[in-house]
Amino acid sequence: MGVVYTLAITNFQAAAEQKESLSIKRLPALLASFDFEREAKIVCFNGCKSCALYLDGEHITEYDDALSRFFDDSIKSYRYSMRQGFTPIKERIFFTDEHSYEMLCFEYGVTNGGYNEALFIEFGGKVYDLHSRFEVKEYASLEQAREAMQRLENEVLR
């Protein structure tokens, strides 16, 4: 197991050194590049002032600084449904271990089976659609993202 995390640490350090690699558009592919059995995810606490990487439920502390410099309290997450449109994801409790918890303001993960969370992120003046691990779509606004989702829904319903 130690070898797996050493390889993962090497991957993330190389990515953290290249600012363009640590971006919302690369987030699904970056998480998928780690060697994990079940899930790789990034979680942010304290108004998104501190973030952490979890591989299979284990906090990998080596990435905390790089992640905490990347995200800030302006990040907003949304779920999308045909009926309700965009629904903001509110802060919730995240248990960091058996005895302590933090208020979670952001969470995004991928599984080894290829599943990504169906999530939209508003950050840095843009909106990102993180449905796909392979192509993260970028929009100028939530309204533009909503219009794109409605076009997709109309195509599917035909």
Q: What would the pLDDT profile of 77-130 be if each residue is shown by its tens digit?
A: 999 988 888 999 988 888 877 788 888 989 999 988 776 777 899 999 999 999
Q: Which residues contact 23 (CB under 8 A, 6 or more apart)?
A: none
Asked if 27 and 130 count as a contact pair (C-beta separation under 8 A), the reply is yes
Residue 132 vs residues 1, 89, 120, 129: alpha-carbon distances, Å: 28, 19, 11, 8
As a whole number, mean pLDDT of residues 4-21 equals 50
As a whole number, mean pLDDT of residues 60-73 equals 86
The rounded distance, in Å, linking the Cα atoms of 102 and 107 is 12
The rounded distance, in Å, linking the Cα atoms of 64 and 50 is 7
The rounded distance, in Å, linking the Cα atoms of 85 and 148 is 12
Neighbours of 68 (CB within 10 A): 17
pTM: 0.78
- Tell me which residue range forms the domain holding 89: 2-157
- Of 17-21, 68-72, 75-79, 106-110, the one with minimum mean pLDDT is 17-21
How many domains, the chain?
1
Asked if 126 and 144 count as a contact pair (C-beta separation under 8 A), the reply is no
Contacts 24+ apart (CB under 8 A), 81-85: 82/153, 85/146
Q: Where are the beta strands (DSSP E) in the chain?
A: 39-45, 50-55, 58-60, 76-81, 85-88, 92-95, 101-111, 120-123, 126-129, 137-139
